[in-house]
A and B are shown apart, each in its own frame.
Chain A
Amino acid sequence: MTDDELTARLRRTLAHRAESVEADPDLDDLAARAVETDGTRPARTRPRRIPALAAAVLAAGSIAWVGYAVLDATPQEGAFNPGQPLYCSGIQTMTPASAAEALRDRGYEVQWQYHPGPGEPAIREQPAADAVIVDVTIVDDGATALVLAEDFNAGDPLHERLARGETQCDSAPDDD
């Protein structure tokens, strides 16, 4: 392909890309955006709703507390599963502070939304320092949430598994 052919194709692609954008110069939208950003920073992400079902399932077990670190990016297949970005990351079983640091290193935005249980809307900004990341779930707007456990029952099979340091990574097939 010659340079002229490449640039012609690039021009067509850029024009196509630009024309597929919807542009509605609505001043009310702009005013709302001005309010939202205050002109100095990106718009704040609205708090996400925690799925009642996920909270109920966890609370029905021996986990006394559950909390969520909502990640702004969403893997479709579960972040900790083979082939997914947090597979073998070691984040499962980490404390919230370590997990947040590891996630931020990977470019995630982490915000804690902490719920004591289903039907109880209390939110704390930070989970207990000795909480443990036990699982990941998808919240109702498609974001990924890390599930924390605090002070969970020592007899819980999950507790035993985590105490042994086992993760999904341990049963993964070897790479070629």
Chain B
Amino acid sequence: MAPQPEPASTKGLLGDGWPDGFVDFYRRHFEAATRVAGALVGRSDIAQEITQDAFVALARRWHDVDRPYGYLRRCIVNAAHNHQTRRRRHRVLIASQRPETVDPPEVAEIDRLLDGLKPRRQAALVLRFLEDLDYDEIAEILDCRPATARSLVHRGLSDLRRRMS
């Protein structure tokens, strides 16, 4: 096995450095976590920031968290929600800042419509149809009842359908 580079120093931030096992977890899950963030916010740079912040938060609670990936996903969804709420207020302003997309036409329409959904509905759709989570898992991440998670997915789909027509 190729030698792994020394982890970057976090002395003073996280005690003696990254917690045991965290670096391996980070390397194994960063890409998947960033993709979830990317599906939520639609921008690579913001997705990276959100994901990094989530990993930093996880590192600080590493020894208290039973299911690290679940905690991470929850941090990402919450951060994406906050980002979308701010962005919605700035929608008119930042619309022209977003890089022009070269998405295939079949995805371009839904990609655009996703940005217009309420953040929790959008998050429910991402968790259901990208992450393939069941309603119990979605409910845990969104801090709601499973029936509410089901309703969020249903309403998200209804919103998409209505806007498409």
Contacts and interface: CB of A to CB of B under 8 A. Distances in A.
A73 to B, nearest CB: 4
Interface residues of A, number: 46
A161 interface: no
Contacts of A163: none
Interface residues of B, number: 55
Contacts of B92: 75, 84-85
B67 interface: no
Contacts of A37: 53, 56
Interface of B: 5, 7-10, 13-14, 18, 23, 26-27, 30-31, 34-39, 42, 44, 47-49, 51-53, 55-57, 59-60, 86, 89-90, 92-94, 96-97, 103-104, 106-107, 110-111, 114, 125-126, 129-130, 157, 160-161, 164
Interface of A: 1, 3, 6-7, 9-25, 27-35, 37-39, 42-43, 72-76, 84-85, 106-108, 142
27 contacts: A1-B164, A10-B110, A12-B106, A13-B111, A15-B130, A17-B111, A17-B114, A18-B35, A21-B35, A21-B48, A22-B44, A23-B31, A23-B34, A24-B48, A25-B26, A25-B27, A25-B31, A27-B26, A30-B56, A31-B8, A39-B56, A43-B49, A74-B93, A85-B92, A85-B93, A107-B89, A142-B97
